[in-house]
A and B are shown apart, each in its own frame.
Chain A
Amino acid sequence: MRRYCNRMFARRYETLILITPDLTPEELEQAKSKITDVVEKMEGKILRFEDWGNRQLAYPVKRQLRGHYLLLEFMGQPDLLNEVERQMRLDERFWKFLTLVKDKRFDEAKYLEELERLSAERAKREADALNGGPGSDEEDEDSLDDEGDDSDLDDDDDGSDADDDSDD
Chain B
Amino acid sequence: MNQRRKKRRTFHRRKVCRFCADHAVDIDYKDLRLLRHFMTERGKIIPRRISGNCARHQRSLTLAIKRSRYMALMPYTAMTTSSS
Contact = CB atoms under 8 A, between A and B. Distances in A.
Interface of A: 16, 18, 57-61, 65, 67, 69, 71, 96, 98, 100, 121, 125, 135, 138-139, 142, 144-146, 148-149, 151-152, 155, 163-166
A64 B84 CA distance: 11
A152 to B, nearest CB: 6
29 contacts: A16-B71, A57-B72, A58-B74, A59-B76, A65-B83, A67-B72, A71-B30, A96-B72, A98-B70, A100-B67, A125-B24, A139-B16, A139-B21, A144-B18, A145-B22, A145-B24, A146-B33, A146-B34, A148-B25, A148-B28, A148-B30, A148-B31, A149-B28, A149-B31, A155-B28, A163-B70, A164-B67, A164-B70, A166-B70
A100 B71 CA distance: 13
| Shortest beta-carbon contacts, A-B, top 5 | A58-B75, A57-B72, A149-B28, A148-B31, A58-B72
Contacts of B34: 144, 146, 148
A16 to B, nearest CB: 6
Given A16-B71, A61-B72, A67-B72, A146 B16 contact: no
Contact of B75 (A59, A135, A138): A59
A155 B72 CA distance: 20
A146 B70 contact: no
A138 B18 CA distance: 11
The B interface, classified by DSSP as helix, strand, loop or mixed, is loop
Contacts of B30: 16, 71, 148-149
B79 interface: yes
The A interface, classified by DSSP as helix, strand, loop or mixed, is mixed
Nearest to A166: B70
A11 B76 CA distance: 31
Nearest to A140: B22
B55 interface: no
Contacts of B66: 164
A161 B69 CA distance: 17
